[in-house]
Amino acid sequence: MEYYREKFKRHVKDSNFTKLEKSSQKFLEEKAYMYRLSFQDIKQLIDISIDLEMWDEESIKKIWKDNQNKKKTLLHVKNMYEDIKTKPKKYIKFKSTAKKHKFNFTTFEKDKLSLGTCPVASPKTRCCNLMTLDAVESCGFDCSYCSIQSFYNENNIGFDKNFIKNIKNIKLDANKKYHIGTGQSSDSLMWGNKHDILKSLFEFARENTNIILELKTKSDNISYLLENEVPKNILCTWSVNTQTIIKNEEHLSATLEQRVASARKLANKGVLVGFHFHPIIVYEDYLKEYKELVTLLLKNFKTKEVALVSLGTLTFIKPVIKKLRSRNFKSKVLQMPMVNAGDKQSYPLHVKEEMFKEIYKAFSPWHKDVYFYMCMEDESLWRKVFGYEYSSNNQFEEFMINSYINKIN
Ligand code: SF4
């Protein structure tokens, strides 16, 4: 017994064991002794217990059923877990644990600034070749599915002191057209014009008419854009979601109403806007709520005001899953059926096909006059959802940019 006790301690060292509720820790330890569980068994049971607590579902204790046969006991737990994981989740009784962050604003001095490639794009998916400009490092919102938290230390918001100088030195090819976004390393608008970031980006857009600069946000911080002339080649896009998802998973961000009202104000000013339905998340009756969101947009905007609508869903890289499990918070984003999608984990294709088809169909009145695309999706979905497909990412990029240019003009 003493020998196994020592072994158990070694097994749980460096795991999330101590992040579990005390009662689950005690329960797992008892069962580990009882069944002489192996390192792999314990590791799996810790992940299962962490997930169940994070999802606010029944605890490991509740789904456990002792059987004299260890294999059968573990199989029962795994089956129960898979069942909870794959059935559409319910947010009705779920209580999220959003806390106000305390940010540390830090500054650093970069020697130069260059355009990057979209950090989540993958050669295995159909992608738009978006170029990125990291104006701010890290985000002040706390969306539970976000991968920015695995790239940066989330409480430190970093600003480049040399941004104004560096952006002027970016060399662009005058014969090329560029689609550049600043919303990949942070939220594009939540910091407003802090450190003159927006001012410099506006100048950059004015001086380089061959670029389309997309400012993507979940905020309603549009005062700088209302008070200043916005260059025509700047698109302001909102990542939108149902209020159920905003409330439970997009902590600290603007409400749906605030996002739509902000987009409306900028559209009134003649700024082209766009909407990213990303990530679309499956939960009970999710399609009904997403369709209501589509109706809200159809009612509030004219096609000439809207450059794009993108569709995308939850996709996780392993470090983000690991990070989420270590965070000790409540979220249901990982409560979903997951299969390999490229190098990532995402919904099975048939689930995606249904979600994208249904939402795209709800947008029928806009099909001809707004540019629709799927972000980071398997190329086999394109024909099924839109009725057409691109032969390459370059062709996708070309059609997208030309469509935006036509709208701008
Ligand atoms: S489709 Fe999405 S993931 Fe791919 S490059 Fe464009 S923005 Fe990035």
Are 10 and 126 within one domain? no
Are 136 and 264 within one domain? yes
Residue at 221 is within a domain? yes
Are 67 and 165 within one domain? no
Q: Look at residue 152 in the predicted model and tell me its pLDDT.
A: 60
Residues across the chain: 409
213 lines ligand 1 (CB under 6 A): no
72: CA distance to ligand 1 center in Å? Answer: 44
Q: Look at residue 270 in the predicted model and tell me its pLDDT.
A: 97
Q: Look at residue 184 in the predicted model and tell me its pLDDT.
A: 81
Q: How many domains does the chain have?
A: 2
Q: Average pLDDT per run of 10 along the chain, which is 409 residues long?
A: 80 90 95 92 96 96 93 96 96 82 84 90 89 89 80 76 93 95 89 95 97 97 98 98 96 96 98 98 98 98 98 93 90 96 92 98 98 96 97 96 96
Ligand 1 atom at shortest distance from the alpha carbon of 374:
1
Are 155 and 304 within one domain? yes
Are 239 and 365 within one domain? yes
**Considering only CA atoms, which residue is closest to atom 6 of ligand 1?**
128
Separation between Cα atoms, residue 264 and residue 257, nearest integer Å: 10
121: CA distance to ligand 1 center in Å? Answer: 5
Are 242 and 132 within one domain? yes
Residue partners of 364: CB distance under 8 A and separation at least 6:
none
Residue at 96 is within a domain? no
CATH of the domain at 163: 3.80.30.30
107: CA distance to ligand 1 center in Å? Answer: 28
Q: Which domain holds residue 219?
A: 108-408
Residue at 95 is within a domain? no
Are 76 and 155 within one domain? no
Q: What is the DSSP letter of 140?
A: S
Q: Look at residue 347 in the predicted model and tell me its pLDDT.
A: 97
Ligand 1 atom at shortest distance from the alpha carbon of 118:
8
* Buried/exposed code over 79-100 (b: 16+ C-beta within 10 A; e: otherwise): ebbeebbeeebebeebebebee
Residue at 93 is within a domain? no
Q: Is 108 exposed, middle or buried (0-12, 13-18, 19+ CB in 10 A)?
A: exposed
Question: What is the pTM for the complete model shown?
Answer: 0.94
Are 277 and 358 within one domain? yes
Phi, psi of 25 (to 5 degrees): -60, -45
Q: Look at residue 149 in the predicted model and tell me its pLDDT.
A: 64
